[in-house]
Amino acid sequence: MIQIAVLGYGTVGSGVVEVIETNKTDINKKAGEDLAVKYILDLRDFPGDPYAHKVVHDYNIILNDPEVTVICETMGGTKPAYDFTKQALLLGKSVCTSNKELVAVHGPELIRIAKENHCNYLFEASVGGGIPIIRPLNYSLTAEKIDGITGILNGTTNYILTKMDKEGADFEDVLKEAQDKGYAERNPEADVEGYDACRKIAILSSLMSGKNVRYEDIYTEGITKISAADFKYARQMDKSIKLLAMSRDTEKGFFAMVAPFMISREHPLFSVNGVFNAVYVHGNMLGDSMYYGRGAGKLPTASAVVSDVVDCARHPGKTIMCFWDEEKVDVADISKAERKFFVRVRADQRESAMAAFGSLAEVNVGIAEEFAFMTQVMSEKEFNEKIEKTGGCLNRIRIMA
């Protein structure tokens, strides 16, 4: 019997309990042992809930119970999740988490502590919700040198951008509607400014490099400046606009960034719509592979947490290999990264834009007050210099090669 404690009885925590109960026959068979939730830690009480009798308010009860060998941390945030996780690992109790913030900030340290104490710190649910992506990177693609990851890693922004694309609506209107329907948070900053996707690509980039890619070093831009007009131009070019989180291991350096990109219909990420997430991985032997599914939500995320619990049950007293050292990766300045850009300027800037950019391809959707165009391939630095010579722009969106 594997006795489990669940920290935080919110959306994901209650999902963990539900997944274990609903699929118990299959899960127990696959784990090789029965899983049982012994405690649920929460500040609140849950009168009437079938698991109300398992709720405790004192973490020490869990720490001091030698029967509890696996802890599901579904609290979110770094405080007190960091201290709780560290205390458990130091006692040799494995921790399975959905907490991307904690993994992005303290992942390599917690992985090391788990290793020193012959247990596991597993985080399949921290990126892409229910989509298997951590395990493929850690186990399935071990014969590869992975040199590129591109992801749609945030469901809220993908939902908003998809609606803007399909309905021709503006950002603010779609955000408000998404908030009213409960799809977007009342405080949507972490999603719409790209911070959530930044934490997630930091985790994937670290697994790709085997070293620590700090989220603070990743250039991050959100979707708040994307307008209905931008989508009009995108459609004219048979493209869409997606918030992409990407990293590239190149001869020129290790690049990582989060920003809205225009992508063509031919790209597999073009069709990833609504709340769905996808991760597009390039390996030097396999080439491209893509992992797609529900990146958020109670049961998909809980399913990934429980899959980690099953992994713990299959490896008693053993640490499952995970290559994520504490050594920092030098993330290259994006000014060196090269690509095409889509640019909108005022109609009276046409001549200065043509003089600054030379060869460009005009895109016309009949907005008389604007001149819009696609540049040649150039570095971010070169682009910034040219746009300054042009006298600024209404908006610019990077184009995915």
Residues serving a catalytic function are 200
Closest CB to ligand HSE among residues 190, 367 = 190
The reply on whether position 296 binds ligand HSE by CB under 6 A is yes
Of positions 165, 196, 217, 311, contacts ligand HSE by CB under 6 A: 196
Question: By CB under 6 A, what part of segment 102-131 binds ligand HSE?
Answer: 129
Biggest CA-to-CA distance, the chain: 75
**Selected range binding ligand HSE among 68-76, 152-160, 234-242, 265-273, rule: CB under 6 A:** 152-160
> Considering CB under 6 A, how many residues would be counted as binding ligand HSE?
8
Taking CB under 6 A as the criterion, the residue among 14, 99, 156, 220 binding ligand HSE is: 156
Shortest distance (Å) from residue 295 CB to ligand HSE: 5
Per CB under 6 A, the segment of 12-20, 112-120, 154-162, 364-372 that binds ligand HSE is: 154-162
**Residue 76 DSSP code:** -
For residues 371 and 345, is the Cβ–Cβ distance under 8 A? yes
Handedness of CA 219, 222, 227, 233 (dihedral sign): positive
Give CA–CA dist 198/244, Å, rounded. Answer: 10
Of the candidate residues 101, 191, 308, 311, the single one contacting ligand HSE (CB under 6 A):
191
Three-class secondary structure of residue 27 per DSSP: helix
Stretch that binds ligand HSE, among 149-157, 247-255, 260-268, 343-351 (CB under 6 A): 149-157
CB closer to ligand HSE out of 245 and 329: 245
131 versus 387: smaller Cβ distance to ligand HSE: 131
H-assigned helices in 23-126: 24-31, 59-63, 81-90, 100-116
Q: How far is CA 398 from CA 197, 332, 350, in A?
A: 17, 18, 20
Residue 301 tokens, joined = 């995320």
CB contact set of 50 (below 8 Å; sequence gap of 6+): none
Question: Two tokens at 118?
Answer: 């012959």
136/295 with CB nearer ligand HSE? 295
User: For helices 155-167 and 228-236, what crossing angle results, to 10°?
Assistant: 70
d(CA 158, CA 22): 30
Shortest distance (Å) from residue 154 CB to ligand HSE: 4
Single out the residue of 85, 154, 303, 307 in contact with ligand HSE (rule: CB under 6 A): 154
Please say which residue, 203 or 394, places its beta carbon nearer to ligand HSE: 203
Tell me the three state secondary structure of residue 279.
Answer: strand
Give the binding site for ligand HSE (CB under 6 A): 129, 154-156, 191, 196, 295-296
